[in-house]
A and B are shown apart, each in its own frame.
Chain A
Amino acid sequence: MATSGAVANFPPRASAGQSARQVYVGLRTFYRVLKANPLTFVGFVVVAILCIAALLMVVAPHVLAPYGPDQITTAYNQGPSGAHPFGTDGLGLDIYSETLYALPLDLEIAFAIAGAAMIGGGVLGLIAGYWDRPGSASGALSVVIMRITDIFLAFPSLILALAIAVSLGRGVWQLIVAILLTWWPYYVRLVRGETLAVKHLPYVSAARAAGVTDGRIVLRHILRNVLEPVVVYFTLDIGTVLVTLSTIGFVGLGVAYPSTAEWGSMISYYQGSGLITAYPWTVLGPGLAIFVTVLAFSLLGDGLRDILDPRSRRVLGGTGTGAITVATPPEAPLPPPAPAESEDLPGSEAPTAV
């Protein structure tokens, strides 16, 4: 324990006592970064609103939705009005309420798929990246993982998911399985790449030289460094999963509307039944919902990726928004700003080759 404890302190980290303060500093940094990036901030706010609305829809749907999920109103095929913001359809369903009922389901499916893909693909990626010594049994395993991953990556995931969905049939679980089967390889590739990059950093080598076990190194050092890009990718991925699952719904292989509300299936239903030309507002609700949700997650993820990417961080820093660079705790000695280290411009520390 003594050895590993000493070595584990190689990367700059806070002790347990400081962690509350670290959380505070982290949150403050997060807030300042968001404030400096208007688009990312908008994305964050909309995502937060959507998540709260989804929770409300599960707990107390009547707060937001004026009608029940299967409640037939007396109005048929009416355009948007005060009573029915997105109009009604031929069955007399209030499209606004239906869109809201689809919100928790769509978010749940998206989070379930992206989350399971992240965990499953992440574990495989860690194994393939960390235990990849050629000749060993684990090295062979890593090669097998990567070969299979490469083959999966050759498929456009939507196409393969569609093919699996047709074989599995319609339904929520079938939908999740179909997308998940095509979704994990992206996380394997991402996590493996990050693991390979971190693995040879001096402090990891030092930990290994000091006799820290592999499992411990992976848990304490590698995972910590891999987490950041994976979380960013995950945020962006929610949007992509949503698009994919609603496309499957649109093709007619997802959940069956109107028995279960899901945005893609709703659009498919209205478009397929020829209602769209006569009653174009029918696609307004679900279309807008999916667009806003995906855009919000993309804005957030895209912005986070820029902020966490050192290249962009430098640019942001240059315009006076580089909160990260000055966000060290006040009691720590202020590190000299970039120009103090080399008298060249901040840019010239860039790598030698493109």
Chain B
Amino acid sequence: MTTPALSIDGLSIDYVVGAGRFHAVSDVSLDVESGHVVGIVGETGCGKSTLAQAIPRLLPEPPATIGGGRILFQGVDLVKVPRWKMPTIRGTGISMIFQEPLNSLNPAFRIYDQVAEAVHVRRARESRPGGLVRADGAPFDYSKLPAPRAGDTIAGHFIPGGVAQDAVHRRQVERAAGGTPSEVREVVLDYLKLVRINDPETILDLYPHELSGGMRQRIMIAMALCEKPSLLIADEPTSALDVTIQAQVLTLMKELIREVNTTILFISHDLGVIAETADELGVMYAGKLVEFGPVAEVFASPRHPYTKALLKAAPTRYKTDGPLLSIAGSVPNLSRPPPGCRFHPRCPIARPQCTVEPGPPLAPVAGAAPNHKSACYFPEEVPGIP
């Protein structure tokens, strides 16, 4: 068995707000195999975005604190990497697509400058002795890279835009980007074409506010991909978009997942997307990973009561009759989570045992696929829940 691209082990993340502690992620363990697409689903507030942002250490600490656990990426524990070294891992190592395309692009810079900057980071790292590629194909330890150094001139970016379509400005950025102007430009154009932007030449000179949300998310995707990351985290890339745009971007994501063939952690609350794209599926509830397994099997026979309820409550696209189902009860307050299994107050098969600390561990399910795990004491009863 190969080492997983990303291995999270017993990760806990708390927010310290005033005098209170808010347990956003509790004891999550998760393996993402190299080349696989792993989906994480869960309700709003279950901690899936916190988890996604904790992997590249993007959470502001404080208020967030990593309470314990390890995040192993390319053999390095990211929890222990000093913060100033994290930039060497971000970008070419781990890249991310954010939830809010409207806010994710810097409003003050042209599209070209922003994408070219990412191209530059990749090129600068590749051009260093040893580069990013290893002949034996073994995992590359990004934390061994020298501390980051952006060669961009400040001046190039402080020239106010808009006074003229200034060629000087662009040339400065390009020279800084370590390639001849046309080379960098070609790479940028290639990636804009990859994300199905029709008129990339025009788009390059525009500012983010001149583009629609869907376009901006495509550019975010292009920016993430052009660094050729070892791991791509997509944090609900479509949830902030209009429904029709969502469909387009999702189609694009699905196609790209096949084309770029990289390891992806796909956070979503849309079960349909996960079903179509992911190899494995993790289900989170109240900061805990409650079920993990091959996507087809989890959909066909869930082994945790919460997964079962979630699947039942999910609206299918063509279902027009009958009411939308919901799960009885409400999501627990994570500053004071219920003892034991966090789902027990809403669980139809809860027993007294379920309320005892610590709750059920995430354990392999007997009689299922070898990597199918469930955090329930009675996984065999779940298929019987009506």
List chain A positions with a Cβ less than 8 A from chain B: 317-320, 322-323, 325-326, 334, 336-348, 352-354
Contacts and interface: CB of A to CB of B under 8 A. Distances in A.
Contact of A337 (B22, B59, B64): B22
A314 to B, nearest CB: 9
Contacts of B20: 326, 337
A145 to B, nearest CB: 35
Nearest to B46: A343
Contacts of A343: 24, 44-50
A346 B50 contact: no
16 contacts: A317-B63, A318-B63, A319-B63, A320-B16, A320-B62, A322-B18, A325-B18, A336-B333, A343-B24, A343-B45, A343-B47, A343-B50, A345-B59, A345-B60, A345-B64, A346-B15
Interface in B35-86: 44-50, 53, 59-60, 62-64
A336 B336 CA distance: 10
Contacts of A348: 99-100, 103
B19 A326 contact: yes
A326 B19 CA distance: 7
B102 interface: yes
A339 B286 CA distance: 12
Contacts of B47: 343
A354 B209 CA distance: 12
Nearest to A322: B18
A325 B17 CA distance: 8
Contact of A339 (B15, B48, B103): B15
Contacts of A346: 15, 17, 60, 63
Residue from B19, B22, B46, B48 having most chain A Cβ neighbours under 10 A: B19
Contacts of B24: 339, 343
Interface residues of B, number: 30
B27 to A, nearest CB: 17
Contacts of B301: none
Given A320-B18, A340-B45, A340-B333, 16 more contacts: A318-B16, A318-B17, A320-B16, A320-B19, A325-B18, A326-B20, A336-B335, A337-B20, A337-B22, A338-B17, A339-B22, A341-B45, A343-B47, A345-B53, A345-B64, A346-B17
Interface of B: 15-20, 22, 24, 44-50, 53, 59-60, 62-64, 99-100, 102-103, 107, 209, 333-335
A319 B17 contact: no
B365 to A, nearest CB: 27
B126 to A, nearest CB: 32
Q: Which 3 A-B pairs have the closest CB atoms?
A: A326-B18, A318-B63, A337-B17
Residue from A317, A322, A337, A347 having most chain B Cβ neighbours under 10 A: A337
Residue from A325, A345, A353, A354 having most chain B Cβ neighbours under 10 A: A345
A158 B155 CA distance: 37
A342 to B, nearest CB: 7
B19 A352 contact: no
Contacts of B50: 339, 343, 345
B15 A317 contact: no
Nearest to A320: B16
Contacts of A323: 18
Residue from A318, A319, A326 having most chain B Cβ neighbours under 10 A: A318
B336 to A, nearest CB: 9
Nearest to B15: A339
A326 B17 CA distance: 9
A318 B102 contact: no
A104 to B, nearest CB: 41
A205 B216 CA distance: 36
Nearest to B45: A343
A318 B62 contact: yes
B102 to A, nearest CB: 6
A74 to B, nearest CB: 61
A29 to B, nearest CB: 11
A323 B19 CA distance: 8
Contacts of A354: 107
A343 B15 CA distance: 11
A27 B49 CA distance: 38
Nearest to A341: B45
A43 B22 CA distance: 33
